[in-house]
Amino acid sequence: MTRPVKAAVFGTGSWGTAFAMVLADAGCEVVLWGRRQELVDAINSGRTNPDYFPDVELPANIRATTDPAEAAAGADFTVLAVPSQTLRGNLAAWAPLLAPETVLVSLMKGVELGTAKRMSEVIEEVAKVPAERIAIVTGPNLAAEIAARQPAASVVACVDEAAAQRLQAACHTPYFRPYTSTDVIGCELGGAVKNVIGLAVGIADGMGLGDNTKGSLITRGLAEATRLGLAMGADPLTFSGLAGLGDLVATCSSPLSRNHTFGTNLGRGMTLEETIAVTKQTAEGVKSCQSVADLARRHGVDMPITDTVVDIVHHGKPTLVALKELMGRSAKPERR
């Protein structure tokens, strides 16, 4: 008899918890690592995560711990679900504890500030594991809908297709349908850029603009992601798939998206400080818009919507001025 697949999930926030449920529903033995003892105790005794999904019963094959060594021990998959900007520091502490052959799985959709590194690059550097043992999960996967077991598709990407297939099997459930990909760069960029475009669409929504504006931002945002991806060696077709268009549509349509909601609050006229104060969960695009703009500059790629988001979010540019400037750019062919 083969033993069940073991998964460690680092991060008891919304996506860490929901993805732990997916893994458990797919038959894995899951250990969730969390920082706070009271939340870990509540998960183990109450079978719910009261801070994120108080009404969702967690499967019996999930347990939680605050001990990273206990979580990491013997894990076939080590899933990382903390805010992107905290990964480097956290992983430095966890790296010595990792099971020898574990596949590290990033759920994160950010780009590191300062270095402009993708999460898989940070993992490779800090945990010193080869790219063949680093995978990512991405796609239109709003955590609350997954926790409600609503149907969704996703992409699991790894340069080693066999590792991607093992992860696919480990997280395939009747409601969660993962597709494999070997385009890690494209999949990671798709996830990071859609958060920035989600902010832009939210800002437009908050300003009272309509669906033509939204459709234009989504499409031209996709063009920005694709241009950056091409310059960085990604497969352009990835951006018309779940990691690109799929996630853009979900994020830019949904009030569940933290990035979209963050943008909406800014567009309604809240200051950055007020918006941060009412945002209880991680909106990766707020910091990563800067890193995405850095990547664009390094690769000589034009990303005007991304630059506009940086100007509004980080340089306090009034939304109406930013909109006028974006629309006032010189006319161009759609494809070039």
Q: Which are the catalytic amino acids?
A: 194
Query: How far is 32 from 63, CA to CA, in rounded Å?
Result: 6
Q: x-or-dash pattern for ligand NAI, window 91-110, by CB under 6 A?
A: ----------------xxxx
Q: x-or-dash pattern for ligand NAI, window 141-160, by CB under 6 A?
A: xxx-----------------
Q: x-or-dash pattern for ligand 13P, window 190-219, by CB under 6 A?
A: -----x--x---------------------
**Residue 166 binds which entry of ligand NAI, ligand 13P, none, CB below 5-8 Å type-dependent:** none
Q: Which is nearest to 312 in space by CA: 202, 212, 229, 223? A: 202
Of 181, 275, 282, 291, which one interacts with ligand NAI (CB under 6 A)? 282
Angle at 14 between CA 9 and CA 15, to 5 degrees: 55
Query: How far is 186 from 245, CA to CA, in rounded Å?
Result: 12
Question: Shortest distance, CB of residue 35 to ligand NAI, whole angstroms?
Answer: 5
Residue pair 292/279 in contact by the 8 Å Cβ criterion: no
Of 78, 213, 257, 319, which one interacts with ligand 13P (CB under 6 A)? 257
Stretch in the footprint of ligand NAI (CB under 6 A) among 14-22, 181-189, 224-232, 315-323 = 14-22
Question: Shortest distance, CB of residue 19 to ligand NAI, whole angstroms?
Answer: 8
95, with CB counted inside 10 A (0-12, 13-18, 19+), is middle
Distances (CA, A) of 61 to 38, 160, 280: 20, 28, 28
Question: Shortest distance, CB of residue 65 to ligand NAI, whole angstroms?
Answer: 14
Nearer to ligand NAI, 168 or 319 (CB): 168
264 binds ligand 13P (CB under 6 A): no
Q: Which two tokens stand for residue 266?
A: 């800014």
Q: Which is nearest to 183 in space by CA: 148, 139, 126, 151? A: 139
